[in-house]
Amino acid sequence: MVQHNPEADDIELLRRSGGDPKAFHALVDRHAQRLYRLAVCLVGNAADAEDVLQETFIGAFRGLGSFEGRSSVKTWLTRILVTQAARWRRDRRRSEPMDESVAAVAASPDATMDVQAAMQRLSAEHRQVLALREFERMSYEEMAEVLGVPRGTVESRLHRARSELREKLKSYLP
């Protein structure tokens, strides 16, 4: 029986993407939903998340030659998305300074909305580690690779992020 290996499939698609547009579109289909969820968490709304997602895949297409196979395709694409989301937040802060109260205003009695609002009130670093761990189920090593920081930093950052989020959501937690 032939073993199905998603990572090998990703690498094969990536290898063919330079000369075969269909291969790259197949790669988009395989990762779009996962990356979109992460983008929504990182930027806080669906419309901007879509823009960030588009920029991620365009960046990936333009940087096809830069993929050296040292990390998985999933990690590589996630790293591009995290970079694009950080750039988006930076540009947005420059054009219209972020108001910390915006997220609070958006909060509603609905727990889901409150969680999203609370996530947006975290610092970018804390939001990143929480999203990678809780949504992507990434290991500490993978997160360290995506964020370009040592494993120990990931561990301490994740601990602080959880403490901060717990403080904001304490009314919902046991």
* CB of 61 closer than 8 Å to CB of 24: yes
Q: Is 134 in the site for other proteins (CB under 8 A)?
A: yes
Comparing CA positions, the residue from 26, 135, 118 lying closest to residue 78 is 135
Q: Is 124 in the site for other proteins (CB under 8 A)?
A: no
> Which residue in 7, 29, 91, 167 binds other proteins (CB under 8 A)?
29
**Nearest-approach distance from CB 12 to other proteins, in angstroms:** 18
Distances (CA, A) of 4 to 9, 11, 33, 82, 138: 8, 13, 21, 28, 21
Return the residue matching tokens 């370009």. Answer: 148
Contact set with other proteins (CB under 8 A)? 21, 24-25, 28-29, 32-33, 36-37, 40-41, 46, 50, 53-54, 57-58, 61-62, 111-112, 115-116, 119, 130, 133-135, 139-140, 155, 158-159, 162, 165-166, 169, 172-174
